[in-house]
A and B are shown apart, each in its own frame.
Chain A
Amino acid sequence: MSKYTPILTRRYTLPQSWTLAVAESAGAYEAARKALNTMTPEAIRAEVKAANLRGRGGAGFPAGVKWSFLAPKPGQQVYLVINADEGEPGTFKDRTIMEKDPHRLIEGCIITMYAIGSHKTFIYVRGELALAIERLEKAIQEAKARNYLGSKPFGTNHPMEIVVHPGAGAYICGEETALLNSLEGKRGEPRLKPPFPAVRGAFDMPTIVNNVETIASVPDIILMGGEAWSRLSLLPPEFNDGGVRLYGVSGHVARPGIYEAPVGITLRELIYELGGGMLHPDRPLKAVIPGGSSTPVIRPDDKVHAPDPKHPLHRWHGKSHLDVPMGVDTMRGIGSMLGTCCAIVMDTSVNMVEVARNLMRFYHHESCGQCTPCREGTGWLVDILNQVAGGRGNKVHLDLLVDVSNNMMGNTICALADGAAMPMLALIQKFRKEFIEAIEKGLTNDHRLDRAIRHALLKEGALA
């Protein structure tokens, strides 16, 4: 891992990396110049398809394929919308791109707009990220002043404009159709699909919605060529999961943060190499949520079960889940999800019922309230877990948690309900004993999630 040369983050360490002068002296806009002056939109789309760039926002849909769904009718304007409403608990990668290298995102937007025949991009940034918004706005002005945006970007007859749109605090607006409603000045409630955004999206026009990191990968795909970029991945080519990506690691590790690495490193490498290992030598790994809070939890003693030689995961049969290379399809294969690739690491001091309570409270707070199973279901889950924690647990509660979760899955307009039910079910399935114990005895102050590090914090602090 030590030999790895960063691509996406190569400008992060330069002083004032967010200014045009510094970014351009380190290669920014070379790809845009190449794309707009020497390539056709079809050629760009072909490179992105060849790059096997899987969407970095959580669902892992191939970006090149998504772009090919566009079929605007005559007279229709095509919009590009960047989903920068980063809010999945555990995820904090897109923020670093916008704060440290906004020109990379803008360059990606320029190339993408040209490739999909769009003239306008909306970057929907979560409202809390004031620094990201400020730096993006500034960067757009700089790019405009250089004629990289505007009526004739890089001398072509393809006018382009980028608008930064601030959100106002709602996790659900990270769901693409809720995001579009929010962009249109409505409540961020998801829309029924179909019609998909590529047919009818922002302002009823064909729209492509992509994650920040997805679009920020485009410039290097153009410079390097799609196939070469795809080969950077450590996964076997049949997984069609190419390139490099940002990995996040938070919780009980020694060096939490965002790190860049090829697609297909293992959870073990993420935790013990990039993340610097566990926070405390006496408290080993208990569980890891691999890619944002909606992805089912993984235990270090979980083993891959794929005895059939035809099974795509057969080559990892019998190995720990921590040793399976992380990719969209490999993680799905072991019963979890890659999500946003930002892991939350928990050591043996953590009580999993408290984890469930913390996460379900989050989903209950963030449910938009449109669909009954989600609005009521998340509330029920919190309620039951509160009863259990308060020592009023009942034997039926375990089945009730499972029953409510099962009735949420697949019964709602968007995936928020699934995003709550999946981790809930996985927590019960993998830590059943702890739930039973909590139902019998309740939880005390000893179970609070910061139990293990509270002392160290206070020693430094002044909590009188």
Chain B
Amino acid sequence: MMRNENENPHAPFQPDPKEEQAIDELIAKYPTKRAACLPLLHMCQRRVGWISPEVIDFVAKRLEMSTAEVKGIVTFYTMYHHAPVGKHVIWVCRTLSCELRGAKTIQEHLERRLGCRPGQTSRDGRWTLKKAECLAGCGYAPVVQIDDRYYEELTPAKLDAILDQIEKGEMPPQSETPWRLP
């Protein structure tokens, strides 16, 4: 998710030789080229921070697809950002199990702390807040996902501690999901 800040945002997307090799390896895993579309988009988003028009052009050309097809895919799946996002993206799960255990309270807390609503980015550009549908952490609710890590069994206080740590520049590890013996 880390964006390279020195990059010209409008330059055509160009992978470096190492990335080129990774893309070749990716395509070789599948019987057709276009099957690599989802993982390739993930790879590009990790570098650029979002799926820019340049990324769409690049993926379409590389996988011999039309840009319309790639765009159709980008807009179908929720994990691809169609617009630039903050440095970190927070997804708050709002589906039933989390909701029963306080997801709305968690979301309200985040709205206050970050000063933005779901779908928006905080003023300092550091955080984008999003609502998520079921993240498959129902037994460890409430759950938020920050970038690609899950944080479970949260309270506003626990979440604050996690956000404080990230603001200091360290990403707390995803804690091992609890395993309770019967």
Contacts and interface: CB of A to CB of B under 8 A. Distances in A.
B135 A128 contact: yes
B137 A92 contact: yes
Interface in B98-139: 99-106, 108-109, 112, 132-139
B100 A449 contact: yes
A187 B72 contact: yes
Contact-size category for B: 35 or more
A457 B100 CA distance: 12
B166 interface: no
A185 B35 contact: yes
A326 interface: no
Q: Which of B72, B80, B156 has the most CB of A within 10 A?
A: B156
Contact of B155 (A86, A100, A182, A460): A460
Contacts of A342: 138
Interface string B29-55: 111101111110110000000000000
Contacts of B105: 450, 454, 457-458, 461, 463
Contacts, number: 212
A84 B80 CA distance: 19
A182 B72 CA distance: 12
A355 B156 CA distance: 23
A2 B138 contact: no
Q: Which of B30, B32, B137, B158 has the most CB of A within 10 A?
A: B30
A171 B136 CA distance: 11
A346 B141 CA distance: 14
Contacts of A188: 76-77
Nearest to B35: A185
A131 B150 contact: yes
Contact of A165 (B38, B78, B140, B159): B38
Interface string B134-171: 11111111000100111000011111100000000000
Contact of A250 (B78, B97, B150): B97
Interface in A269-309: 273-274, 289, 293
B136 A4 contact: no
Contacts of A252: 100
A4 to B, nearest CB: 7
A189 to B, nearest CB: 8
B176 to A, nearest CB: 8
B182 A128 contact: no
A166 B139 contact: no
Interface string A373-387: 000000000000000
A285 B80 CA distance: 40
A184 B182 contact: no
A149 interface: no
B96 A169 contact: no
B2 interface: no
Contacts of A248: 138-139
B76 A365 contact: no
Contact of A462 (B100, B103, B137, B160): B160
Contacts of B180: 255, 257, 259
Interface in B54-109: 63, 65, 69, 72-73, 76-80, 91, 94-97, 99-106, 108-109
Given A448-B104, A461-B157, A4 B182 contact: yes
A21 to B, nearest CB: 18
A463 B178 contact: no
A457 B178 contact: no
A100 to B, nearest CB: 7
Contacts of A92: 136-140
A457 B106 CA distance: 9
B38 A166 contact: yes
Contacts of B157: 460-462
A171 B155 contact: no
A163 interface: yes
A91 to B, nearest CB: 7
A91 B135 CA distance: 9
A129 interface: yes
B181 interface: yes
Contacts of A449: 96, 99-100, 104
Interface string A332-369: 00000000001010100010000100110010011010
A453 interface: yes
B156 A129 contact: no
Contact of B138 (A91, A359, A365): A91
Contacts of A463: 105, 108-109, 112, 156
A362 B78 contact: no
Given A250-B139, A293-B96, A358-B95, A168 B72 contact: no
Nearest to A99: B177
Contacts of A249: 139
B21 to A, nearest CB: 17
15 contacts: A13-B179, A91-B136, A95-B137, A128-B148, A166-B42, A167-B77, A169-B80, A171-B133, A250-B101, A252-B100, A256-B138, A257-B180, A293-B95, A449-B100, A450-B103
| 6 closest cross-chain pairs (CB), A and B | A461-B156, A168-B77, A185-B37, A169-B78, A185-B34, A130-B148
